[in-house]
Structure formats: C-alpha cells, structure tokens
Amino acid sequence: MQEFVSTNVPAHVAIIMDGNGRWANARGLPRTMGHRKGVEAVRGAVKTAAELGIRYLTLFAFSSENWSRPEDEVSDLMGLLKAFIRRDLADLHRENVRIRVIGDRANLSGDILPLLIEAEETTSANTGITLVIAFNYGARDELARAMRRLAEEVATGRLRPDDITADRIAASLDTAGIPDPDLILRTSGEERLSNFLLWQGAYSELLFVPELWPDFTRDTFIAAIEKYAARERRFGGLPQPTLAVGS
C-alpha cells in the first residue's frame, strides 16, 4: 500500500469519473455492472480523500447530458444513486462527512430530489470533508441559470449592472461558498472537461489518468495528489507553490 508523503494537499479535488462502461465492456459484462463497480470506487475515493486531509471532494455523478443515454441505463444509474444514499448516508454522517449537491433541481421526478435534500439536511452540521455530488449538472446550464437570476435582479431594480462582478457571479453559482477546485482529475485517459466546473476551474490544475474509474484505487489517488503537489501554480502570474490545506 502506497504511503502519502507530501505536505502539499489540495483543499478541493474534483473528479470526472469516466470509464465505467468501458470497464464492463472489456470484461464482457453489461454496462450496468461497470456503474455498480464504480460506486465501490466512490466509497474508496471519499475515504482516501478524508484520510489525506482534502476538505472538498466533488464527484461528477450525472451530467445534464446523460439523460440522452438509453432508458435502461439511466434507470439503473438512478437506482444506484438512490441505493448509495439510502445505504451509505448513515455511514457518511457517522464519519462527519457533509454532503452538498450541485446541479439543476428543477423537474427532478420521483423520490430523487427528496433523497438529495435529505442527504444535505442530515449532514449539514458535519465538519469533516464536504462531499459535493454534481447531479443533473452541466456548467453551461449552471452559468445560464445564474445569469437569469442576476438579470431578474437587474430588471426589478435590486441590482445595478455595474454590481455584476466576478465575485457576484461566483456567489450565484451552485457552488457558492465552496472554494474553487485546486485539482480537476479525469479518469480513463480522456482529456477534456465535458462541461464540468468551467467557471470554477479557471485556474485549476488538470490531471488525466489512464485508469478507468472502477480501477481508481487509493494508490491511484495518492499518486495523483503527489503529481499535483510537485507542480507550480501560476494563477496568471508568477509561479506559486501548490497550496496545502490550512496554509
């Protein structure tokens, strides 16, 4: 088992969990089995992130574009989300994990929305790692919803156009109150953001690893964090050392 030796731990890591379907296809299994194996990787990632001292872990669980997938696959993904919350919520709460959900909540049907709200409310007072679940999330949609809210405030006279600053926009996003990710990581070897945290990731370090998400282990996570820790962050200016938690 690999041990983590760096002191430069990112405060916020965001992960695009990619490769469940390919993992299953490579083994002659239905795609649903890949998603089920991916849930196990989620549990391991949350545990490892808390162990390393990461304060925020954002997981791209279901994008606003994923509704276009085959109906049976979408149904299975919804079932897995429900099962994860029902099965794991008590454990996460006991481990002091705070859950935050980002994404468009309008028109969510059935018992999905009540479950998401229950997860947030149950863990709202917890002080450990914050697990941010991006569900029915798309960055362009998030920005469009934020712009509409700001436009409505201008139209009613509650806000002047000159008051719309970068900070005001950030405060209108789903991630208000959450620091921007220091590291955005994507599994499966694909090298794109896929409409994920486009505003928040303006100065994030990007890391693309070849492992498919179901194969994302503690050692994979630690190796990724150590690669991050070796980088110099610039934020548009001179090189800056990577920021450690609590620095």
Question: Which residues are known catalytic residues?
Answer: 18, 66
Residue 44 marked ligand-binding = no
Residue 86 marked ligand-binding = no
**Largest pairwise CA distance in the chain:** 60
Residues with Cβ within 8 Å of residue 17, at least 6 apart in sequence: 38, 41, 42, 59, 60, 61, 187, 213, 216
User: Under a CB-based contact definition with an 8 Å cutoff, are residues 23 and 214 in contact?
Assistant: yes
Residue 23 marked ligand-binding = yes
Of 63, 65, 75, give the one whose Cα is nearest residue 32. Answer: 75
Residue 43 marked ligand-binding = no
Residue 69 marked ligand-binding = yes
Backbone conformation region of residue 103, classed left if phi is above 0, alpha if psi is from -120 to 50, else beta = left
Residue 124 marked ligand-binding = no
- For CA atoms 156, 158, 162, 168, the dihedral sign is negative
Residue 183 marked ligand-binding = no
Residue 95 marked ligand-binding = no
Task: State the Cα–Cα distance between residues 233 and 241, nearest whole angstrom.
Answer: 6
Both tokens assigned to 71: 């109906």
Residue 213 marked ligand-binding = no
Residue carrying structure tokens 């969990």: 17
Residue 131 marked ligand-binding = no
Residue 22 marked ligand-binding = yes
Residue 140 marked ligand-binding = no
Of 222, 243, 225, 120, give the one whose Cα is nearest residue 177. Answer: 120
Helix and strand tally (H, E) in the chain?
7, 8
Q: Name the CA radius of gyration of the chain, rounded.
A: 18
Both tokens assigned to 238: 């001179």
Cα-to-chain-centroid distance, residue 43 = 14
- The annotation places the binding site for Mg(2+) at 18, 205
- The annotation places the binding site at 18-23, 31, 35, 63-65, 67, 69, 186, 192-194, 205
- The annotation places the binding site for substrate at 19-23, 31, 35, 63-65, 67, 69, 186, 192-194
